[in-house]
Structure 1
Amino acid sequence: MIPVFDGHNDFLQRMVAAGPNASDLWLNGDGTGHLDLPRMQAGGMVGGFFAIWVPMPEGLNDGRAVEIMQNPPFAMPLPDAADVAEAVGHAFAQASKLVAMERTGTVRIVRSAADIRAAIDEGKIAAILHMEGAEAITDMDALHLWHGAGLRSLGPVWSRPTAYGHGVPFAFPSSPDTGEGLTPAGHDLVRECNALRIMLDLSHLNEKGFNDVARLSDAPLVASHSCVHAISESARNLTDRQLGLIRDSGGLVGLNYAVSFLREDGRRQTFDGYDPLLRHLDHLLEKLGEDGVALGSDYDGALVPTDLEDPSRLPDFLDAMRAHGYGETLVRKIAAENWISVLERTWGA
């Protein structure tokens, strides 16, 4: 079975919600959501980025928002900035759950590319501590504290403003050019992440913020879970110009499985088969080359295609890539090797 390393999941929020049953949820699953250890093992998912994320306000999480996103065009306003004290507490709770997963003996929180390889060799899930939205980074001292705790990947924003920059709204059709760039504190954050060799994730940044990171950063540009704007005109998707900047930096894009970013019509409505995913992969390969494309599922954070409803279905997706004409070497690169390679270039060996 080809190993798969994944660019993004939101499983830690499910762990927090599970409370005292969290370890059982991880080890045995409960029939809900996308991720758990048995389904990851069944599909060959050997690791990925486990996101710390402050949940959406209730108003964006209800049936009304889902209905709006099922019927484009739509332009939902950005949520207000999160309360920092609440964000710090929530981030701590989610990070604690990842440590609890490690204590089961089935997970290794990785801090280097060598750690990833070692975890895979040991039969453990290689977990990267990632922060999606930097609300819990109250200053650069806090960044160093989180780095000491294992943080190795950071997105300055989710789809709302932070002290560091501005995210894109849920909007279709829309350009990603939706607001101002990074704040002065955001410039400092980029420089300090470069110094600490923390990967900067561009997936939720608006276009001006993306441009600022491209100008300031000396690391490969990475979007952990994004799709192609030329195919689906979501504000969250990347334009060909942005893809060119990622390519020129030696960076990478992880394909997001969220149906609303894959579908040409932008509808939040699932579908059967793999054709939309393969179309996005074809475009990414054309613009980035074979070393710049990977997977970034957004499991437990998005509505995904029926045939990728959980990681146990990943072998079928890899088979679809082969049937589409991708050779075995390319399939292995997309599945895991490109992620490990770009992290080596970002973190060092």
Structure 2
Amino acid sequence: MTAVRYTVTAEAAGAVLAALRRCDGQLTWNQARRLMHELRLGVNGIVCIDEGRRVQAGDVLEVRQRPFPPVPGDEDVRILWLDALVVVAAKPAGMLSVRHPGDRDWSEERKRQQPSLEESLGRLIRRREGGSGAVERRGGRPSGARTQRGLAAPGGVAATDSGLLAVHRIDRETSGILVFARTEESQQFLIHQFAAHTVLRRYLCVVPGQMSMQTLRSRQVRDRGDGLRGSTDDQSVEGLDMVTHVKPLRRFEGYTELECRLETGRTNQIRIQLSELGYPLCGDVKYRGPFGGAVVEDTSGAPGLALHAAELGFRHPGTKEQLSWQLPWPSGMLRWLDRLSRGQ
């Protein structure tokens, strides 16, 4: 997978094709557009097909000889649980959790080119419920759950067909489980659990080297000096606390598969903390080692970012039961892990 990568500087930031031309220095507009049309241009490891996409300092532009995987769509999304109050879904890698507020006025055609999980779920839910307004539990049964049919929202107010309310997000490059609320009361009930750190969030990832069990504690900084978020052990620095509990699951020749349980859930938390320790995630083109230190080259051959939200658990806002869902690695990652286990 031969590729040329450019890290966007503050001077090059802006519209993606203009940024690419500034970074490359030789590409014409037609050549840049052709790369996008042929699905050979990516941003942070994900294919980019929108000329209006804006990139910022620290983003990584990537030009490949072969096309990126196609853009994920509605058919790549799975609903794991659906009732009147919440929907739990499996997000594919390469899909936004929620569209940026500044992009919500895009045309429907432009949105469908690279849909967010929120938008895809809205369409899938409408198809399932057939526009009838009837709501019942759908999908696989989570741990500790009893079947709930006709579960009504508090006060008898039902969620609208498109009334999905964000509770949390995971990176575009990351696959795994998310929950959306369908009423404002449910949203607040779930947000309070996240704030109290009572939500179970278990991730899987793979890093180079051999790593031991430990708890990572640091403070997030918004700009570590190159436009990217970073972390520091200096508690006098203003920033949000980050706590991640790390446990090795499997050891391969030169690599370790880790379980990461989030106590806090800051943007890019796992990627930042492990990278700052010198263990950048396989397939991560953005965080490749501690800021100011040597870049850790990625020779793993990972098909994408090796980070997966594998388990999510919370108290249901209606029944108050503790529920949880688990999801294995995506198939492409499983094939790659099998090759690692055989030393290939």
TM-score (norm 1): 0.29
TM-score (norm 2): 0.29
Give 1 or 2: higher helix fraction.
1
Structure with bigger gyration radius: 2
Structure with the bigger RCO (C-alpha within 8 Å, sep 6+) is 1
